[in-house]
Amino acid sequence: MIRNKIIAQKEEIKNRSAEQYIERKVDPKKFEGNLIKVVIGPRRAGKSFLAIHIMNKLGNFGYANFDDEELIEVKQYDDIVKEVDSIYGKPKNLFFDEIQNLPKWELFANRLQRGGYNLVLTGSNSKLLSQELATHLTGRHVLIHIFPFSFKEYISVENRELTQAEIKAKLSRYLVDGGYPEPLLKKLDYKDYLSTLFDSIIYKGIVRRFNIRVPRKIEDLSLQLISNTAKEFSYRSLSNAGKNKSTYTVQKYIGYLEETFLFFEVSRFSYKVKEQASFNKKIYCIDNGFIQAKAFNFSENFGRLYENAVAIHLKQNELRGESKLFYWKNAEQEEVDFVVQKGLKVAQLIQVCHNLNDQKTKDREIRAILKAGKELKCDNLIVLTEDYESEEGEEWFGIKGRIKYIPLWKFLLNE
């Protein structure tokens, strides 16, 4: 049984290796050396595809995919290695896909690494992986995050220089369709593909793994969240509005949804940790396409789509260890969408405003970012717009600052 599975999977990756590959924003140096390389991110975001191309550059490698109900039932893991050795000619490079499905996988990986194997692992559950890595592989692994395509990766599919008009048109589609590679490269229907994928992540990645007895409750919560993307929430407000009447259950379920990379929270900024923990958070979805595919009563609200796209972009920087991400709000309920902190210093304040034509809207955004800049001692003030570009001195009742107005497409491309 094991041998037949490994042979069938070898044929699968041979076919996948021939498919179009888009270069991802990953530091190639992370794949050097003898540390275990762990690639994590949402299902279908391109983790396996990246790993296949990295492994091909290393030469001969062995492969096993544990997103398979028969392989994860194997009790003697050495039997898997034995068959991989036989089929691939005793390779020293091993690629194990969706490793978190294998019980006590971290002990298995640890033993193989000590035995001289060069391991590349992928997984779709952040907490499970990070907990086991911290416990058993401390200092012997490197973590690589892969999300759906960034906008830069999305337009690189064209493999040619695009005009500014073409880039803007592409951005409009990217904001709605999102960055999942497969529907883009294979010309599939985005809505059908992403709706099915979303449900699969809920049921396969959460309901089955965590033995959720009433699946409808977490499904209902996920639809609540995706329909309120880029909005503030509290666990209590979600429990009052939905079918989960326990705030503890809501918090636990949101944890599961974050672990499987469907959503992420952004905390309100405060220098006081306890105060920060008591504030409401904002919720964002890992890909804009999910919003269009699953949210109820959601028209193409480009303001929220803009903000979610920026949140994804900044979240990736946070996961790479470049910065920390927050939002800002004061007692007057004035708000700045994103606070980017580097070290102990607030390095950037970012306001997202799809349309600045309305003067009241512009005044509101300027007032908030100037006040935040003064309070947080930050003079790097940015307003992301649809098409307006300028750098202007602004003032609000004696609070002065220079604000850079940058079109969203330029911001997303200038990584």
Q: Are residues 117 and 171 in the same domain?
A: no
Task: Select from 308, 388, 319, 317 the least CA-distant residue to 348.
Answer: 317
How far is residue 289 from each of residues 28, 35, 218, measured CA to CA in Å?
28, 35, 20
Counting the structural domains of the chain, the total is 3
Residue range of the domain that includes 166: 151-310
Q: How far is Cα 217 from Cα 215, in angstroms, rounded to an integer?
A: 5
How far is residue 337 from each of residues 60, 361, 369, measured CA to CA in Å?
47, 14, 9
pLDDT in tens, the chain (415 residues): 899 999 999 999 989 888 888 889 888 788 888 889 999 999 999 999 999 998 988 889 999 999 888 898 899 999 999 999 999 999 999 999 998 888 888 889 989 999 999 999 998 887 666 666 667 676 788 889 999 999 999 999 998 999 999 999 999 999 999 999 999 999 999 999 999 999 999 998 899 888 999 999 999 999 999 999 999 999 998 988 767 778 999 999 999 999 999 999 999 999 888 888 889 999 999 999 999 999 876 555 788 999 999 999 999 999 988 999 999 999 999 999 999 999 999 999 999 998 888 888 889 999 999 999 999 999 999 999 999 999 999 988 899 999 999 999 999 998 6
What pLDDT, on a 0 to 100 scale, did the predictor assign at position 297?
60
Q: Are residues 58 and 163 in the same domain?
A: no
Residue 345, SS3 per DSSP: strand
The CATH number of residue 227's host domain is 1.10.10
What pLDDT, on a 0 to 100 scale, did the predictor assign at position 29?
81
Q: Are residues 167 and 35 in the same domain?
A: no
User: pTM, whole model, 2 decimals?
Assistant: 0.93
Q: Considering Cα of 83, then 86, then 87, then 90, what sign does the dihedral take?
A: positive
User: DSSP letter string over 53-114?
Assistant: HHHHHH-S-EEEE--STTGGG-S-HHHHHHHHHHHHTS-SEEEEESGGGSTTHHHHHHHHHH
Q: Are residues 283 and 155 in the same domain?
A: yes
The last residue of one of the domains, among 310, 334, 360, is 310
What pLDDT, on a 0 to 100 scale, did the predictor assign at position 393?
94
Q: Are residues 122 and 174 in the same domain?
A: no
DSSP structure class, residue 297:
T
Q: Are residues 140 and 164 in the same domain?
A: no
Element (H, E) at 401: strand 399-407
Q: How far is Cα 57 from Cα 21, in angstroms, rounded to an integer?
A: 14
